[in-house]
Structure 1
Amino acid sequence: MAYVLISDLMYGDTDKRIKARVSRQWDYHDLNDETKIYHTDLVLLDEKGNSIHVQIYPPTMINLRTLLQEGKVYYFDSFSVRYANRTYRPVTNPLMISFTKWTTLEECIDASDDFPAITFSLTPFQDAPSLVDKNAFYVDIMGVITEIGATDTLRPKSRNTETLKRTMQIWDASNSTLPITLWGNTATAFNAEEIYNAGQKKPQVIIFVGTVVKNYKGIGISL
């Protein structure tokens, strides 16, 4: 089946076909109601390692999101290529894709074993302070977990309802440390017990993608 690489896409394209893996999939929902989804987002990755951000809005989202599975490779047809968002971009590609009511997909069942699966752009610990409240890109960070806190329930100033929170500490090769805070469903989805138990035998290196950097009064820098 004929297709082009992500790097071949141009602004305004509506008739291209690509072959790409769903490297990452998440929902953007109302901060006060996690059942209300505004749009579904993807990071697609092609066989050459090129990546692109995808957004799917209702009603297309309802039809397509149930057909997609993170980690699988698909052929995608009839989508719209536009300029990337100005804020909260998960990858550096200046373009992004919007799925429309004409978009179709078909799973590729014979993808090669070396087809790339994940993509990220790591930020050094020492650069985190310069990214406080910057929102052009999400921040990807890697470190060894040294501490995992329990889940707490609280009500942030930015929300009208209570939410779950879990904080942990990671450190890098220079022994610098950073706290990572997980909110909402992410706090409970994180397999803390398994990772903690594994950490008693050998260091657990973990990559967090899609974080933002904050500077909290009395706490300091946190992702």
Structure 2
Amino acid sequence: MVFSPLSTLQPRDWHKTIHVRVCRKWEFRETNENSPLQHIDMLLVDSQGNTMYAEIPAKEAEKHGPVIQADRTYVISRFRVYNAKSFFKPVPGQYMFEFTCHTKISVANEQITEPKYIYSLTPFEKLPEFINDNRKFHDILGIITEINEPQWIPFSNQPNPSL
């Protein structure tokens, strides 16, 4: 079977089939963990190292959510590709991927193992530049060097400060 690289996908490519590994998977529930599920989010990577953000909408979460696991490789077809969101982007890219009620998923025989992680590190000293910037997610690695009392910080997207 011929698989399409993620880099070639465009809107209305519902007839293509992809071979991808799920690098990350998380649930989005609005402001806190007790809120209703809005969608399940994922980062997909293909054998060429191309990446794409993917979503399982809440209405399809019960069907597809348990099937898809992080760090597993799948063959997926009958999906929807559309313009990527302009905010909270986990990876750069023009398009994103959405699972539909018609999406077909099967565990792949051939596993994709590299790259193991998908990230774009933000230097710790540059973090203040991105306060209240919601265009992308920021991956940060750090070492705890000091512990202080917690502080309340106001965010533009929340009515009250957060601890």
TM-score, structure 1 normalization? 0.63
Corresponding residue number in structure 2 for 1:29? 29
The one-letter amino acid paired with 2:129 is S
Per the TM alignment, residue 5 of structure 1 is displaced from its structure 2 partner at its CA by 0.7
Q: Which portions of structure 1, spanning 4 or more consecutive aligned residues, are displaced by more than 6 angstroms?
A: none
Q: Does 1:56 align with 2:56?
A: yes
> Is the 1:22–1:71 contact (alpha carbons within 8 Å) kept by the matching residues of 2?
yes
The verdict on how the C-alpha distance between 1:141 and 1:15 changes in structure 2, with shifts beyond 3 A counting, is: same
- Is the strand fraction higher in 1 or 2? 1
SS of the equivalent of 2:58 reads coil
Rounded to whole Å, the distance in 2 between the matches of 1:18 and 1:54 is 13
Corresponding residue number in structure 2 for 1:39? 39
Rounded to whole Å, the distance in 1 between the matches of 2:109 and 2:140 is 32
The verdict on how the C-alpha distance between 1:30 and 1:6 changes in structure 2, with shifts beyond 3 A counting, is: same
User: What CA deviation, in whole Å up to 9, does each residue of 1:124-183 have, x standing for no partner?
Assistant: 12221111100110111122344679xx9x9x99489xxxxxxxxxxxxxxxxxxxxxxx
Corresponding residue number in structure 1 for 2:139? 140
Q: How many residues align?
A: 158
The verdict on how the C-alpha distance between 1:148 and 1:17 changes in structure 2, with shifts beyond 3 A counting, is: farther
Higher Rg of the two aligned structures? 1
Corresponding residue number in structure 2 for 1:123? 122
TM-score, structure 2 normalization? 0.84
Q: Which runs of 5+ in 1 are unaligned?
A: 161-215
Rounded to whole Å, the distance in 2 between the matches of 1:66 and 1:159 is 34
SS of the equivalent of 1:3 reads coil
The verdict on how the C-alpha distance between 1:33 and 1:71 changes in structure 2, with shifts beyond 3 A counting, is: closer
> Is the 1:22–1:42 contact (alpha carbons within 8 Å) kept by the matching residues of 2?
yes
Fraction of identical pairs, as percent: 29
Per the TM alignment, residue 68 of structure 1 is displaced from its structure 2 partner at its CA by 0.9
Rounded to whole Å, the distance in 2 between the matches of 1:54 and 1:41 is 6
Please, which moves more after superposition, 132-141 or 33-42?
A: 33-42
Rounded to whole Å, the distance in 2 between the matches of 1:134 and 1:31 is 17
